[in-house]
């Protein structure tokens, strides 16, 4: 939607998949909260409209955006070449890597992806974690729509590891000390907010909100006293 259309309907529809703490997750009051949700709220506030979060499976987010069912995707989504062919990404707002999570107190402590050969590994369908483990044919990949289900499988010993973004792995391990981060895989990913391909008006707006969030009080002082 154009900014005019978003203002006319009075709400910004943001798609996300909320089993990804601390970026987006369901809290004890059943609200979807997190780092990304605060960014989404900021964008909605700046547009002067209400924020409506649309909860979708991760692999349905891009199709939903392409079909105009949502205005933005904010989902800890890594900017990849393949995705950038079908949606437009904002400037990066977070750096990420993959990681391997296993059960605490067991011998199996993989330090690299190759150590997962011959093992069952849970991932979220369509994520960059799914992509990196699927490249190694000897790994038995089990794909879930929700990370909460992937961790349930790990707990129940039906898989040997979960591969997912490091910051999110740390959040799960902190909450469930029965799991441990066994390795970090340096994938050098960057998260971006996605808009419909060609929607440069909304993209510029989003980029301005992100850049503004990056500014320190010092930058703001320089801007105030020296620029323009």
Provide the binding-site residues for ligand ARG, judged by CB under 6 A: 16-17, 19-20, 24, 58, 75-78, 96, 124, 127-128, 165
Q: At what angle do helices 200-214 and 35-47 cross, to 10 degrees?
A: 120
Q: DSSP letter at 52?
A: E
Question: What are 97's two structure tokens?
Answer: 């890597």
Nearer to ligand ARG, 124 or 207 (CB): 124
CB atoms within 10 A of CB 167: 19
Nearer to ligand ARG, 14 or 44 (CB): 14
Cβ 25 to ligand ARG shortest distance, Å? 9
Nearer to ligand ARG, 76 or 110 (CB): 76
Question: Cα(178)–Cα(183) distance, rounded to whole angstroms?
Answer: 16
Cβ 164 to ligand ARG shortest distance, Å? 7
Cβ 219 to ligand ARG shortest distance, Å? 28
Cβ 228 to ligand ARG shortest distance, Å? 37
Question: What are 202's two structure tokens?
Answer: 């909304």
Residues 6+ apart with CB under 8 A from 12: 6, 40, 43, 44, 47, 49, 50, 51, 52, 71, 72
Nearer to ligand ARG, 3 or 132 (CB): 132
Residues 6+ apart with CB under 8 A from 138: 117, 118
Strand order in the sheet with 194-196: 50-55, 11-16, 72-73, 194-196, 87-89
Nearer to ligand ARG, 32 or 202 (CB): 32
Burial of 228 (0-12, 13-18, 19+ CB in 10 A): exposed
Cβ 128 to ligand ARG shortest distance, Å? 4
Nearer to ligand ARG, 75 or 210 (CB): 75
């Amino acid at each position: 939607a154009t900014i005019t259309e978003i203002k006319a309907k009075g709400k910004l529809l943001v798609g996300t998949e909320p089993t990804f703490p601390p970026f987006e997750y369901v809290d004890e009051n059943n609200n979807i909260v997190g780092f990304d949700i605060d960014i989404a709220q900021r964008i909605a506030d700046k547009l002067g409209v209400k924020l409506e979060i649309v909860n979708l499976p991760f692999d349905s987010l891009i199709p939903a955006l392409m079909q105009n069912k949502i205005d933005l995707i904010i989902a800890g989504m890594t900017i990849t070449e393949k995705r950038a062919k079908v949606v437009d990404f904002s400037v990066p707002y977070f750096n990420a890597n993959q990681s391997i999570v296993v059960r605490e107190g067991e011998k199996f402590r993989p330090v690299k992806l190759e150590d997962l050969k011959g093992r069952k590994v849970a991932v979220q369908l369509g994520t960059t974690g799914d992509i990196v483990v699927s490249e190694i044919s000897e790994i038995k990949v089990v794909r879930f729509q929700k990370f909460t289900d992937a961790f349930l499988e790990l707990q129940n010993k039906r898989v040997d590891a979960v591969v997912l973004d490091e910051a999110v792995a740390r959040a799960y391990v902190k909450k469930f000390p029965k799991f441990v981060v066994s390795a970090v895989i340096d994938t050098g990913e960057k998260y971006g907010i996605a808009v419909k391909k060609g929607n440069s008006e909304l993209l510029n707006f989003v980029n301005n909100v992100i850049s503004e969030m990056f500014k320190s009080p010092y930058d703001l002082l320089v801007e105030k006293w020296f620029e323009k």
